[in-house]
Protein backbone atom coordinates (compact mmCIF):
# COMPACT_ATOMS: atom_id res chain seq x y z
CA UNK A 1 0.00 0.00 0.00
CA UNK A 2 1.33 3.46 -0.81
CA UNK A 3 1.82 6.33 1.66
CA UNK A 4 -1.57 8.06 1.20
CA UNK A 5 -3.27 4.69 1.66
CA UNK A 6 -1.46 4.06 4.94
CA UNK A 7 -2.24 7.61 6.11
CA UNK A 8 -5.91 7.14 5.29
CA UNK A 9 -6.04 3.80 7.12
CA UNK A 10 -4.46 5.37 10.22
CA UNK A 11 -6.85 8.31 10.04
CA UNK A 12 -9.84 5.96 9.77
CA UNK A 13 -8.64 3.94 12.76
CA UNK A 14 -8.27 7.12 14.81
CA UNK A 15 -11.70 8.41 13.77
CA UNK A 16 -13.38 5.11 14.56
CA UNK A 17 -12.30 4.94 18.16
CA UNK A 18 -8.75 3.67 18.48
CA UNK A 19 -7.89 7.07 19.99
CA UNK A 20 -10.17 6.27 22.91
CA UNK A 21 -8.68 2.85 23.53
CA UNK A 22 -8.11 2.00 27.19
CA UNK A 23 -4.79 2.77 28.76
CA UNK A 24 -2.95 -0.42 29.70
CA UNK A 25 -1.18 -0.77 33.03
CA UNK A 26 0.45 -3.76 34.66
CA UNK A 27 -0.38 -5.07 38.10
CA UNK A 28 2.26 -6.01 40.67
CA UNK A 29 1.88 -9.56 41.93
CA UNK A 30 2.18 -10.08 45.67
CA UNK A 31 3.75 -13.45 46.42
CA UNK A 32 3.01 -15.53 49.52
CA UNK A 33 5.02 -14.33 52.47
CA UNK A 34 5.79 -11.02 50.80
CA UNK A 35 4.75 -7.89 52.74
CA UNK A 36 2.39 -6.05 50.38
CA UNK A 37 3.97 -2.57 50.20
CA UNK A 38 1.50 -0.34 48.40
CA UNK A 39 2.47 2.78 46.46
CA UNK A 40 0.43 5.98 46.61
CA UNK A 41 -3.04 5.46 45.14
CA UNK A 42 -2.78 1.68 45.11
CA UNK A 43 -4.89 -1.08 46.66
CA UNK A 44 -4.25 -4.76 47.25
CA UNK A 45 -6.85 -7.09 45.75
CA UNK A 46 -6.97 -10.76 46.64
CA UNK A 47 -9.27 -13.71 46.19
CA UNK A 48 -9.45 -17.11 44.56
CA UNK A 49 -10.55 -18.40 41.14
CA UNK A 50 -11.71 -22.00 41.07
CA UNK A 51 -12.54 -23.65 37.77
CA UNK A 52 -14.77 -26.72 37.81
CA UNK A 53 -14.23 -28.46 34.49
CA UNK A 54 -16.54 -31.33 33.53
CA UNK A 55 -17.59 -31.71 37.16
CA UNK A 56 -14.06 -31.86 38.65
CA UNK A 57 -12.04 -29.09 40.27
CA UNK A 58 -9.20 -27.98 38.03
CA UNK A 59 -7.10 -26.75 40.99
CA UNK A 60 -4.25 -27.28 41.72
CA UNK A 61 -3.61 -25.76 38.33
CA UNK A 62 -1.10 -26.97 35.82
CA UNK A 63 -1.27 -25.64 32.28
CA UNK A 64 -4.88 -24.42 32.53
CA UNK A 65 -4.21 -21.67 35.08
CA UNK A 66 -6.76 -18.85 35.10
CA UNK A 67 -5.88 -15.91 32.86
CA UNK A 68 -7.95 -12.78 33.41
CA UNK A 69 -7.95 -9.00 33.30
CA UNK A 70 -9.72 -6.05 34.90
CA UNK A 71 -10.81 -2.75 33.38
CA UNK A 72 -12.21 0.34 35.09
CA UNK A 73 -15.98 0.77 34.71
CA UNK A 74 -15.57 4.44 33.79
CA UNK A 75 -12.76 6.44 32.15
CA UNK A 76 -10.26 7.73 34.67
CA UNK A 77 -7.66 10.47 34.46
CA UNK A 78 -4.17 9.00 34.62
CA UNK A 79 -1.65 10.67 36.94
CA UNK A 80 0.38 13.19 34.95
CA UNK A 81 3.96 12.36 34.17
CA UNK A 82 6.53 15.15 34.63
CA UNK A 83 6.28 17.61 31.77
CA UNK A 84 3.32 15.88 30.16
CA UNK A 85 0.20 17.83 29.25
CA UNK A 86 -3.28 17.00 30.52
CA UNK A 87 -4.46 13.58 29.39
CA UNK A 88 -8.06 12.83 28.39
CA UNK A 89 -9.85 10.37 30.68
CA UNK A 90 -9.53 6.78 29.46
CA UNK A 91 -10.52 3.44 30.87
CA UNK A 92 -7.67 1.67 32.62
CA UNK A 93 -7.05 -1.90 31.50
CA UNK A 94 -4.95 -4.28 33.60
CA UNK A 95 -4.30 -7.47 31.60
CA UNK A 96 -2.39 -10.71 32.17
CA UNK A 97 -3.60 -11.43 35.67
CA UNK A 98 -3.40 -15.04 36.84
CA UNK A 99 -3.40 -17.05 40.06
CA UNK A 100 -1.15 -19.35 42.04
CA UNK A 101 -1.49 -23.11 41.64
CA UNK A 102 -4.19 -23.20 44.32
CA UNK A 103 -6.23 -20.49 42.57
CA UNK A 104 -5.35 -17.72 45.06
CA UNK A 105 -4.34 -14.34 43.63
CA UNK A 106 -3.02 -11.12 45.20
CA UNK A 107 -2.16 -8.02 43.18
CA UNK A 108 -1.37 -4.38 43.86
CA UNK A 109 -3.35 -2.23 41.39
CA UNK A 110 -4.40 1.44 41.24
CA UNK A 111 -7.54 2.10 43.33
CA UNK A 112 -10.75 2.16 41.31
CA UNK A 113 -14.07 0.60 40.37
CA UNK A 114 -13.32 -2.30 38.05
CA UNK A 115 -15.07 -4.97 36.03
CA UNK A 116 -13.60 -8.37 35.37
CA UNK A 117 -12.65 -8.80 31.73
CA UNK A 118 -12.17 -12.00 29.75
CA UNK A 119 -11.48 -14.98 32.02
CA UNK A 120 -10.17 -18.23 30.62
CA UNK A 121 -8.05 -21.22 31.59
CA UNK A 122 -4.73 -20.76 29.77
CA UNK A 123 -4.77 -22.30 26.26
CA UNK A 124 -8.59 -22.54 26.18
CA UNK A 125 -11.14 -20.76 24.02
CA UNK A 126 -13.46 -18.82 24.03
CA UNK A 127 -13.19 -16.22 26.79
CA UNK A 128 -15.71 -16.33 29.65
CA UNK A 129 -17.28 -12.94 30.37
CA UNK A 130 -18.38 -13.39 34.00
CA UNK A 131 -20.15 -9.96 34.07
CA UNK A 132 -18.73 -9.18 37.51
CA UNK A 133 -17.52 -5.95 39.08
CA UNK A 134 -15.86 -4.79 42.31
CA UNK A 135 -15.32 -1.45 43.93
CA UNK A 136 -11.82 -0.98 45.37
CA UNK A 137 -11.75 2.81 45.36
CA UNK A 138 -10.16 3.56 48.72
CA UNK A 139 -6.40 3.69 48.24
CA UNK A 140 -4.16 2.02 50.81
CA UNK A 141 -6.58 -0.80 51.61
CA UNK A 142 -6.64 -4.55 50.96
CA UNK A 143 -9.82 -5.76 49.28
CA UNK A 144 -11.07 -9.35 49.34
CA UNK A 145 -12.96 -10.17 46.13
CA UNK A 146 -14.12 -13.59 47.37
CA UNK A 147 -13.96 -17.05 45.81
CA UNK A 148 -15.11 -17.12 42.21
CA UNK A 149 -16.32 -20.58 41.18
CA UNK A 150 -16.81 -21.08 37.45
CA UNK A 151 -18.36 -24.38 36.38
CA UNK A 152 -18.06 -25.24 32.69
CA UNK A 153 -18.06 -28.15 30.26
CA UNK A 154 -15.00 -28.43 28.02
CA UNK A 155 -13.66 -30.67 25.28
CA UNK A 156 -10.10 -31.35 24.29
CA UNK A 157 -8.89 -33.27 21.27
CA UNK A 158 -5.50 -34.85 20.74
CA UNK A 159 -4.48 -33.83 24.26
CA UNK A 160 -5.33 -30.22 23.53
CA UNK A 161 -3.31 -29.96 20.30
CA UNK A 162 -6.50 -29.41 18.28
CA UNK A 163 -7.64 -26.97 20.93
CA UNK A 164 -9.38 -26.88 24.28
CA UNK A 165 -12.91 -25.63 23.90
CA UNK A 166 -15.25 -24.42 26.63
CA UNK A 167 -18.53 -25.74 25.31
CA UNK A 168 -20.98 -24.62 27.98
CA UNK A 169 -20.86 -22.21 30.89
CA UNK A 170 -22.82 -24.02 33.59
CA UNK A 171 -22.62 -21.78 36.61
CA UNK A 172 -20.84 -18.71 37.96
CA UNK A 173 -20.92 -18.11 41.72
CA UNK A 174 -19.06 -15.86 44.14
CA UNK A 175 -18.64 -17.28 47.64
CA UNK A 176 -17.54 -15.30 50.69
CA UNK A 177 -14.64 -17.25 52.20
CA UNK A 178 -12.65 -14.10 52.91
CA UNK A 179 -11.91 -14.93 56.55
CA UNK A 180 -9.99 -18.07 55.64
CA UNK A 181 -8.41 -16.47 52.60
CA UNK A 182 -6.86 -13.51 54.41
CA UNK A 183 -4.53 -15.84 56.30
CA UNK A 184 -3.25 -17.32 53.05
CA UNK A 185 -2.51 -13.95 51.45
CA UNK A 186 -1.76 -11.47 54.19
CA UNK A 187 0.95 -13.49 55.90
CA UNK A 188 2.28 -10.64 57.99
CA UNK A 189 -0.88 -9.10 59.46
CA UNK A 190 1.02 -6.21 61.04
CA UNK A 191 2.50 -5.13 57.69
CA UNK A 192 -0.73 -5.64 55.76
CA UNK A 193 -3.03 -2.79 54.82
CA UNK A 194 -6.45 -2.73 56.53
CA UNK A 195 -8.65 -5.34 54.86
CA UNK A 196 -12.15 -4.79 53.53
CA UNK A 197 -14.61 -6.96 51.57
CA UNK A 198 -15.42 -5.99 48.01
CA UNK A 199 -16.99 -9.22 46.79
CA UNK A 200 -17.36 -9.59 43.05
CA UNK A 201 -20.97 -8.82 42.14
CA UNK A 202 -22.92 -9.12 38.91
CA UNK A 203 -22.95 -6.02 36.72
CA UNK A 204 -26.45 -4.59 36.38
CA UNK A 205 -28.04 -5.63 33.09
CA UNK A 206 -25.25 -8.01 32.08
CA UNK A 207 -25.53 -11.79 31.89
CA UNK A 208 -22.47 -14.10 32.08
CA UNK A 209 -21.50 -15.51 28.70
CA UNK A 210 -18.69 -15.90 26.19
CA UNK A 211 -16.72 -13.45 24.08
CA UNK A 212 -14.13 -13.66 21.35
CA UNK A 213 -14.24 -14.74 17.77
CA UNK A 214 -13.37 -18.36 18.34
CA UNK A 215 -16.43 -20.47 19.03
CA UNK A 216 -16.34 -24.24 19.45
CA UNK A 217 -16.90 -26.18 16.22
CA UNK A 218 -20.37 -27.86 16.15
CA UNK A 219 -18.95 -31.24 17.07
CA UNK A 220 -17.80 -29.87 20.45
CA UNK A 221 -21.03 -28.15 21.46
CA UNK B 1 -4.37 -3.27 -14.20
CA UNK B 2 -3.27 0.37 -14.27
CA UNK B 3 -2.17 1.68 -10.86
CA UNK B 4 -4.35 4.78 -11.19
CA UNK B 5 -7.41 2.67 -11.91
CA UNK B 6 -6.73 0.60 -8.80
CA UNK B 7 -6.66 3.62 -6.45
CA UNK B 8 -10.42 4.35 -6.46
CA UNK B 9 -11.07 0.71 -5.61
CA UNK B 10 -8.77 0.94 -2.55
CA UNK B 11 -10.53 4.17 -1.61
CA UNK B 12 -13.95 2.55 -1.88
CA UNK B 13 -12.84 -0.41 0.25
CA UNK B 14 -11.46 1.94 2.90
CA UNK B 15 -14.62 4.04 2.91
CA UNK B 16 -16.81 0.96 3.25
CA UNK B 17 -14.63 -0.31 6.11
CA UNK B 18 -14.81 3.13 7.73
CA UNK B 19 -18.59 3.22 7.41
CA UNK B 20 -18.92 -0.27 8.88
CA UNK B 21 -16.57 0.47 11.75
CA UNK B 22 -18.14 3.80 12.60
CA UNK B 23 -21.54 2.31 13.19
CA UNK B 24 -23.47 2.74 9.93
CA UNK B 25 -24.41 -0.87 10.35
CA UNK B 26 -26.41 -0.95 13.55
CA UNK B 27 -28.24 -3.64 15.41
CA UNK B 28 -32.00 -3.16 15.86
CA UNK B 29 -32.89 -1.27 19.05
CA UNK B 30 -33.66 -3.36 22.11
CA UNK B 31 -37.33 -3.56 23.10
CA UNK B 32 -38.31 -0.89 25.62
CA UNK B 33 -41.47 -0.23 27.58
CA UNK B 34 -43.05 3.23 27.34
CA UNK B 35 -43.27 5.27 30.55
CA UNK B 36 -46.54 4.85 32.43
CA UNK B 37 -48.66 1.94 33.65
CA UNK B 38 -47.54 -1.46 32.38
CA UNK B 39 -49.46 -4.76 32.26
CA UNK B 40 -47.31 -7.84 32.88
CA UNK B 41 -49.02 -10.73 31.08
CA UNK B 42 -47.88 -14.34 31.54
CA UNK B 43 -48.43 -16.91 28.78
CA UNK B 44 -51.09 -19.62 29.27
CA UNK B 45 -49.51 -22.51 27.34
CA UNK B 46 -47.28 -25.19 28.91
CA UNK B 47 -43.55 -24.78 28.24
CA UNK B 48 -41.90 -27.07 25.73
CA UNK B 49 -39.70 -29.81 27.20
CA UNK B 50 -36.08 -29.18 26.26
CA UNK B 51 -33.25 -31.72 26.44
CA UNK B 52 -29.70 -31.18 25.41
CA UNK B 53 -28.29 -33.89 23.19
CA UNK B 54 -26.54 -35.82 25.97
CA UNK B 55 -29.70 -36.14 28.07
CA UNK B 56 -31.42 -38.00 25.24
CA UNK B 57 -29.38 -41.12 25.97
CA UNK B 58 -26.30 -42.71 24.45
CA UNK B 59 -27.93 -43.96 21.22
CA UNK B 60 -29.68 -40.71 20.41
CA UNK B 61 -26.63 -38.62 21.33
CA UNK B 62 -24.44 -40.80 19.11
CA UNK B 63 -26.88 -40.41 16.20
CA UNK B 64 -27.25 -36.66 16.62
CA UNK B 65 -23.54 -35.93 17.06
CA UNK B 66 -22.59 -38.46 14.37
CA UNK B 67 -24.74 -36.56 11.86
CA UNK B 68 -23.29 -33.23 12.94
CA UNK B 69 -19.75 -34.61 12.78
CA UNK B 70 -20.28 -36.03 9.29
CA UNK B 71 -21.61 -32.68 8.02
CA UNK B 72 -18.68 -30.78 9.55
CA UNK B 73 -16.25 -33.35 8.15
CA UNK B 74 -17.76 -33.08 4.66
CA UNK B 75 -17.41 -29.29 4.71
CA UNK B 76 -13.81 -29.54 5.90
CA UNK B 77 -13.11 -32.15 3.22
CA UNK B 78 -14.52 -29.90 0.51
CA UNK B 79 -12.26 -27.02 1.62
CA UNK B 80 -9.10 -29.06 2.07
CA UNK B 81 -7.98 -29.08 -1.62
CA UNK B 82 -8.40 -25.29 -1.77
CA UNK B 83 -6.19 -24.91 1.28
CA UNK B 84 -3.53 -27.01 -0.46
CA UNK B 85 -2.84 -24.11 -2.82
CA UNK B 86 -2.61 -23.92 -6.64
CA UNK B 87 -1.98 -27.66 -7.06
CA UNK B 88 -5.00 -28.54 -4.92
CA UNK B 89 -7.21 -26.09 -6.81
CA UNK B 90 -6.06 -27.38 -10.21
CA UNK B 91 -6.71 -30.97 -9.19
CA UNK B 92 -9.89 -30.19 -7.25
CA UNK B 93 -12.25 -32.44 -9.27
CA UNK B 94 -9.94 -35.41 -8.68
CA UNK B 95 -9.02 -34.80 -5.04
CA UNK B 96 -12.28 -33.39 -3.63
CA UNK B 97 -14.42 -36.58 -3.76
CA UNK B 98 -11.81 -38.40 -1.66
CA UNK B 99 -11.31 -35.62 0.89
CA UNK B 100 -15.09 -35.15 1.27
CA UNK B 101 -15.59 -38.88 1.79
CA UNK B 102 -12.73 -38.99 4.29
CA UNK B 103 -14.27 -36.00 6.10
CA UNK B 104 -17.67 -37.70 6.33
CA UNK B 105 -16.21 -40.94 7.67
CA UNK B 106 -13.79 -39.34 10.15
CA UNK B 107 -16.20 -36.62 11.33
CA UNK B 108 -19.12 -39.01 11.61
CA UNK B 109 -17.09 -41.57 13.55
CA UNK B 110 -15.68 -38.99 15.96
CA UNK B 111 -19.12 -37.44 16.52
CA UNK B 112 -20.86 -40.77 17.05
CA UNK B 113 -18.21 -42.08 19.44
CA UNK B 114 -18.29 -38.78 21.32
CA UNK B 115 -22.07 -39.02 21.71
CA UNK B 116 -21.84 -42.65 22.81
CA UNK B 117 -19.16 -41.73 25.36
CA UNK B 118 -20.90 -38.75 26.90
CA UNK B 119 -24.60 -39.55 26.41
CA UNK B 120 -26.47 -40.74 29.48
CA UNK B 121 -27.16 -44.49 29.83
CA UNK B 122 -30.79 -45.44 29.04
CA UNK B 123 -31.88 -45.80 32.69
CA UNK B 124 -30.46 -42.38 33.62
CA UNK B 125 -31.97 -40.78 30.50
CA UNK B 126 -35.37 -42.18 31.59
CA UNK B 127 -34.93 -40.67 35.06
CA UNK B 128 -34.08 -37.30 33.51
CA UNK B 129 -37.17 -37.52 31.32
CA UNK B 130 -39.29 -38.16 34.43
CA UNK B 131 -37.75 -35.08 36.09
CA UNK B 132 -38.52 -33.00 33.00
CA UNK B 133 -42.12 -34.19 32.92
CA UNK B 134 -42.42 -33.25 36.58
CA UNK B 135 -40.94 -29.82 35.81
CA UNK B 136 -43.03 -29.10 32.71
CA UNK B 137 -46.24 -30.05 34.48
CA UNK B 138 -45.67 -27.52 37.24
CA UNK B 139 -48.50 -25.08 37.34
CA UNK B 140 -47.94 -21.38 36.86
CA UNK B 141 -44.34 -21.29 35.65
CA UNK B 142 -44.98 -18.10 33.63
CA UNK B 143 -46.97 -16.47 36.46
CA UNK B 144 -44.16 -17.13 38.92
CA UNK B 145 -41.71 -15.06 36.85
CA UNK B 146 -44.33 -12.41 36.01
CA UNK B 147 -45.38 -11.90 39.65
CA UNK B 148 -41.75 -11.44 40.67
CA UNK B 149 -41.26 -8.77 37.99
CA UNK B 150 -44.42 -6.99 39.21
CA UNK B 151 -43.29 -7.18 42.85
CA UNK B 152 -39.91 -5.69 41.95
CA UNK B 153 -41.59 -2.92 39.94
CA UNK B 154 -44.04 -2.04 42.69
CA UNK B 155 -41.29 -1.99 45.32
CA UNK B 156 -39.46 0.64 43.25
CA UNK B 157 -42.56 2.70 42.48
CA UNK B 158 -42.93 1.63 38.84
CA UNK B 159 -46.65 1.26 38.00
CA UNK B 160 -47.05 -2.39 36.93
CA UNK B 161 -49.90 -4.89 37.37
CA UNK B 162 -50.24 -8.60 36.74
CA UNK B 163 -52.86 -9.47 34.10
CA UNK B 164 -52.88 -13.25 34.52
CA UNK B 165 -55.74 -14.11 32.16
CA UNK B 166 -54.96 -12.30 28.93
CA UNK B 167 -51.79 -14.09 27.75
CA UNK B 168 -51.23 -16.14 24.59
CA UNK B 169 -52.57 -19.69 24.54
CA UNK B 170 -49.78 -20.95 22.27
CA UNK B 171 -46.24 -20.03 21.38
CA UNK B 172 -47.30 -18.85 17.92
CA UNK B 173 -50.12 -16.58 19.06
CA UNK B 174 -49.28 -12.85 18.77
CA UNK B 175 -51.83 -10.78 20.69
CA UNK B 176 -52.18 -7.02 20.15
CA UNK B 177 -53.69 -6.42 23.63
CA UNK B 178 -56.07 -3.76 22.29
CA UNK B 179 -58.45 -4.47 25.18
CA UNK B 180 -55.80 -3.28 27.66
CA UNK B 181 -55.26 0.05 25.89
CA UNK B 182 -57.52 2.17 28.15
CA UNK B 183 -55.68 1.17 31.33
CA UNK B 184 -52.05 0.68 30.26
CA UNK B 185 -49.35 2.30 28.14
CA UNK B 186 -47.59 -0.95 27.40
CA UNK B 187 -47.64 -4.73 27.82
CA UNK B 188 -44.81 -6.98 28.93
CA UNK B 189 -45.65 -10.53 27.87
CA UNK B 190 -43.60 -13.26 29.55
CA UNK B 191 -43.45 -16.86 28.36
CA UNK B 192 -41.16 -19.61 29.64
CA UNK B 193 -40.87 -21.24 26.23
CA UNK B 194 -38.56 -24.09 27.06
CA UNK B 195 -37.92 -25.90 30.28
CA UNK B 196 -35.73 -28.91 30.75
CA UNK B 197 -32.99 -30.82 32.44
CA UNK B 198 -29.69 -30.64 30.63
CA UNK B 199 -27.03 -33.29 31.11
CA UNK B 200 -23.68 -31.76 31.92
CA UNK B 201 -20.36 -33.54 31.79
CA UNK B 202 -18.93 -35.18 34.87
CA UNK B 203 -18.45 -38.52 36.52
CA UNK B 204 -21.19 -39.26 37.50
CA UNK B 205 -22.98 -37.11 34.90
CA UNK B 206 -24.67 -34.03 36.30
CA UNK B 207 -28.08 -32.62 35.54
CA UNK B 208 -29.08 -28.93 35.60
CA UNK B 209 -32.49 -27.31 35.42
CA UNK B 210 -32.73 -24.84 32.53
CA UNK B 211 -35.36 -22.30 31.51
CA UNK B 212 -35.58 -20.19 28.36
CA UNK B 213 -37.85 -17.18 28.54
CA UNK B 214 -39.23 -14.85 25.87
CA UNK B 215 -40.02 -11.31 26.97
CA UNK B 216 -42.19 -9.47 24.44
CA UNK B 217 -42.86 -5.74 24.64
CA UNK B 218 -46.06 -4.38 23.08
CA UNK B 219 -46.44 -0.58 23.34
CA UNK B 220 -50.11 0.40 23.42
CA UNK B 221 -49.69 4.05 22.49
CA UNK B 222 -46.86 6.44 21.75
CA UNK B 223 -43.35 5.74 22.99
CA UNK B 224 -41.61 2.48 23.70
CA UNK B 225 -40.06 0.03 21.25
CA UNK B 226 -41.90 -3.16 20.31
CA UNK B 227 -39.81 -6.30 20.22
CA UNK B 228 -38.76 -9.52 21.86
CA UNK B 229 -35.85 -10.59 23.98
CA UNK B 230 -34.74 -14.14 24.70
CA UNK B 231 -33.30 -14.79 28.15
CA UNK B 232 -31.91 -18.06 29.44
CA UNK B 233 -31.11 -19.34 32.91
CA UNK B 234 -29.15 -22.45 33.77
CA UNK B 235 -29.12 -23.82 37.32
CA UNK B 236 -26.19 -25.37 39.13
CA UNK B 237 -25.55 -28.91 37.86
CA UNK B 238 -26.12 -31.70 40.43
CA UNK B 239 -25.45 -35.45 40.09
CA UNK B 240 -28.56 -37.48 39.26
CA UNK B 241 -28.29 -39.18 42.66
CA UNK B 242 -28.57 -35.80 44.41
CA UNK B 243 -31.72 -35.04 42.42
CA UNK B 244 -33.16 -38.40 43.47
CA UNK B 245 -32.46 -37.88 47.17
CA UNK B 246 -33.35 -34.18 47.09
CA UNK B 247 -36.72 -34.97 45.54
CA UNK B 248 -39.42 -32.37 45.16
CA UNK B 249 -37.81 -29.96 47.66
CA UNK B 250 -34.64 -29.71 45.62
CA UNK B 251 -36.59 -29.22 42.41
CA UNK B 252 -38.70 -26.51 44.07
CA UNK B 253 -35.58 -24.73 45.38
CA UNK B 254 -34.00 -24.78 41.91
CA UNK B 255 -37.20 -23.42 40.38
CA UNK B 256 -37.31 -20.59 42.93
CA UNK B 257 -33.77 -19.61 42.01
CA UNK B 258 -34.64 -19.77 38.31
CA UNK B 259 -37.75 -17.61 38.74
CA UNK B 260 -35.82 -15.02 40.76
CA UNK B 261 -32.92 -14.87 38.31
CA UNK B 262 -35.12 -14.64 35.22
CA UNK B 263 -37.26 -11.92 36.83
CA UNK B 264 -34.06 -10.01 37.61
CA UNK B 265 -32.83 -10.40 34.02
CA UNK B 266 -36.21 -9.19 32.68
CA UNK B 267 -36.09 -6.23 35.04
CA UNK B 268 -32.55 -5.23 34.15
CA UNK B 269 -32.68 -5.77 30.40
CA UNK B 270 -36.27 -4.89 29.46
CA UNK B 271 -38.04 -2.93 32.22
CA UNK B 272 -35.25 -0.75 33.57
CA UNK B 273 -32.09 -1.09 31.49
CA UNK B 274 -29.21 1.14 32.54
CA UNK B 275 -27.25 2.36 29.56
CA UNK B 276 -23.48 2.89 29.57
CA UNK B 277 -23.19 2.68 33.33
CA UNK B 278 -25.48 5.68 33.90
CA UNK B 279 -28.62 5.12 35.93
CA UNK B 280 -31.76 6.08 34.01
CA UNK B 281 -35.11 6.76 35.62
CA UNK B 282 -36.52 3.51 36.91
CA UNK B 283 -33.17 1.76 37.23
CA UNK B 284 -32.68 -0.06 40.50
CA UNK B 285 -30.17 1.62 42.81
CA UNK B 286 -26.81 -0.12 42.70
Render pLDDT for A42-94 as a digit per residue (tens, 0 to 9): 999 999 999 999 999 999 998 889 999 999 999 988 766 666 667 788 899 99
Question: By C-alpha distance, which of A87, A126, A88, A144 is closest to A215?
Answer: A126
pLDDT at position B278 is 40
User: Chain B window 71-130: which residues touch A at a Cβ cutoff of 8 Å?
Assistant: 71-72, 107, 110-111, 114
Give residue B202's pLDDT: 83
Shortest CA gap A82–chain B (Å): 32
Q: Is A207 on the interface with B (CB under 8 A)?
A: yes
Answer with the residue of higher pLDDT: B13 or A155: A155
3-state secondary structure of A113: strand
What is the rounded average pLDDT of the residues B35-61? 81
Q: What is the pLDDT of residue B214?
A: 95
Q: What is the pLDDT of residue A82?
A: 63
Tell whether A90 is within 8 A of chain B (Cβ).
no
pLDDT at A218: 47
- What is the tens place of the pLDDT at every residue in B99-117? 888 877 777 777 777 676 6
Q: Which residues of A196-207 are buried (b: 16+ CB within 10 A; e: fewer)?
A: eebbbebbbbbb
Note whether A55 contacts B111, CB cutoff 8 Å.
Answer: no
B277 touches chain A (CB under 8 A): yes
The answer on pLDDT for A172 being more than 80 is yes
CB-CB: which of A55, A168, A219 is closest to B65? A219
pLDDT-derived band at B284 (thresholds 50, 70, 90) equals very low
How many beta-carbon contacts under 8 Å exist across A and B?
72
**pLDDT > 90? residue A121:** yes
Check residue B100 and give its pLDDT: 83
- What does pTM read for this prediction? 0.76
Average pLDDT, chain B: 81
Task: Using pLDDT thresholds of 50, 70 and 90, give the confidence band for residue B74.
Answer: confident
Indicate if the pLDDT at residue A101 is higher than 90: yes
Q: What is the DSSP string of chain B?
A: --HHHHHHHHHHHHHHHHHHHTTSS-PPPPPBPPSS-EEEEE--SPPEE---GGGG-HHHHHHHHHHHHHHHHHHHHHHHHHHT-HHHHHTHHHHHHHHHHHHHHHHHHHHHHHHHHHSPPHHHHHHHHHHHHHHHT-TTHHHHHHHHHHHHHHHTT--EEE-TTSS-SSTT-----GGGTTT-SEEEEEEEEEEEEEEE-SSS-EEEEEEEEEEEEEE-SSSSB-EEEEEEEE---EEHHHHHHHHHHHHHHHHHHHHHHHHHHHIIIIISPPBTTBPPTTPPP-
Lowest mean pLDDT among A163-167, A214-218, B115-119: A214-218
Quote ipTM for the complex. Answer: 0.79
Q: Which residue has the higher pLDDT, B128 or B11?
A: B128
CA distance A128 to A68: 9
- Dump pLDDT digits (tens) for B204-216: 888 898 899 999 9
Of B114, B234, B277, the CB nearest to A170: B234
pLDDT tens per residue, range B171-204: 889 999 999 999 999 999 999 998 888 888 888 8
Amino acid sequence: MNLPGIAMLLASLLVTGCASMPETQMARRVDPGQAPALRTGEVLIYGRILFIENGASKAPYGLGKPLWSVITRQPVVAPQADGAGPQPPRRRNIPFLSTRKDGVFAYAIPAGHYEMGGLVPFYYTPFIEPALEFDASEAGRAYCLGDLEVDYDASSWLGGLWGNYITHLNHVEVIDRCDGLAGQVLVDATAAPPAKKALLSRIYGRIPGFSGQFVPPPIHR
Amino acid sequence: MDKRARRPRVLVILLVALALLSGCVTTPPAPALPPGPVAVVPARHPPQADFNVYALGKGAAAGELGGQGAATGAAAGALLPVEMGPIGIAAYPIIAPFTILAGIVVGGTIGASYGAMHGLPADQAAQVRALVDQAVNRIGVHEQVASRVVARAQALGVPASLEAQGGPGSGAEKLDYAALRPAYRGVLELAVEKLGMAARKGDPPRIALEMKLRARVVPLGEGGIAGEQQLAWSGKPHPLGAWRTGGADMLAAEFEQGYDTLAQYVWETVVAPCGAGQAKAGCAPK
